[in-house]
Amino acid sequence: MKNWGSWILAARPKTLTAALLPILVASALAQIFAGGFLWWVSLLTLLASLFIQVGTNLVNDAVDFKKGADTEKRLGPTRVTQAGIFEAKQVMAAGFFCFFLALLCGIPLVIRGGWPICIVGLISILMGYAYTAGPFPLAYRGLGDLFVILFFGLIAVGGAYYLQTGHWDLKAGIAGLQVGFHCTVLIAINNLRDMTGDRLVQKKTLPVRFGAGFARWEIAFLCFAPFFLGLYWSSQGSLWAFLLPCLISPLAFRITKLVFETEPSPVYNRFLGQAAGLHLIFGVLLSVGFFL
């Protein structure tokens, strides 16, 4: 039971809404704008997305420790490799196993969606590995934020919508940006918190490249852009999809204010929890807004 608890810790369950929300939003879009959605497609898409994200988290855990980014001075939550709970090779193997499970879940989806879904699935798994590993680790080159916007926003929502409807349209793109921007708030806060340690190991995140001021304005943009993008839904006859998510805008103001007023420190872990809440509640309210 202790090992199971440690593996759950390694999977980073608080981050898994990033895999859930794109599927929820895409299913709601298909239900309202395309006449319905298939529950088994949503379920398999969700499972594949969850396995890819957990695999990415595990590879990140192992690689960051081996590269020296995670040490005993780490400000963030416990990482199982750095804490000595598991060896790096165990965590890496578990990550690859999750990627294999994602492939298995993806087989029926490829049969339904054809070669576009095959390409998207394989690239998603490859990029999950390349986020911190391989010859060109995205997170170490300042590309982690773009990765999240693309793969946990545009591609996740767009791919799930394509599986449900057989086509892609602008609605999926707008919703994907909304979901992706708020998901990226978590990465941006994480990178701002860790910028001092990241600089020492040449992990060139955006705060390391451009400074804390840039990172704070990036977080502000990512927090508020989804609300402005919501104006699109009012033009499409879905006024509630614009208005309902605005109920959570005070939390966006609070997160931005705290980040601007507080120097990077362990207190940022609390801001991460608030950002996760913003991401989750906004996505749920957006989905409900489509139905209303």
Label residue 1 by pLDDT band (50, 70, 90). Answer: very low
What the block records as the tokens of 159 is 């791919």
What is the C-alpha to C-alpha distance for residues 112 and 108, in angstroms, rounded to an integer?
A: 6
Label residue 83 by pLDDT band (50, 70, 90). Answer: confident
Label residue 75 by pLDDT band (50, 70, 90). Answer: low
Q: What is the pLDDT of residue 139?
A: 87
Q: What is the pLDDT of residue 2?
A: 54
Label residue 85 by pLDDT band (50, 70, 90). Answer: confident
Across the chain, mean pLDDT equals 91
Mean of the pLDDT values across residues 66-83? 71
Look at the block and give the residue holding tokens 């298939």.
38
Inter-residue contact 144 to 138 (CB < 8 Å): yes
pLDDT tens-digit map of 201-230: 888 999 999 999 999 999 999 999 999 999
Inter-residue contact 175 to 147 (CB < 8 Å): no
Label residue 133 by pLDDT band (50, 70, 90). Answer: confident
pLDDT value at 114 more than 90: yes
Mean of the pLDDT values across residues 177-192? 96
Q: What is the pLDDT of residue 76?
A: 63
What is the C-alpha to C-alpha distance for residues 292 and 287, in angstroms, rounded to an integer?
A: 9
Q: Which of 155, 152, 56 is nearest to 113 (CA)?
A: 155
Q: What is the pLDDT of residue 115?
A: 93
Label residue 231 by pLDDT band (50, 70, 90). Answer: very high
Q: What is the pLDDT of residue 28?
A: 94
Percent of the chain with pLDDT over 90: 72
Mean of the pLDDT values across residues 40-58? 95
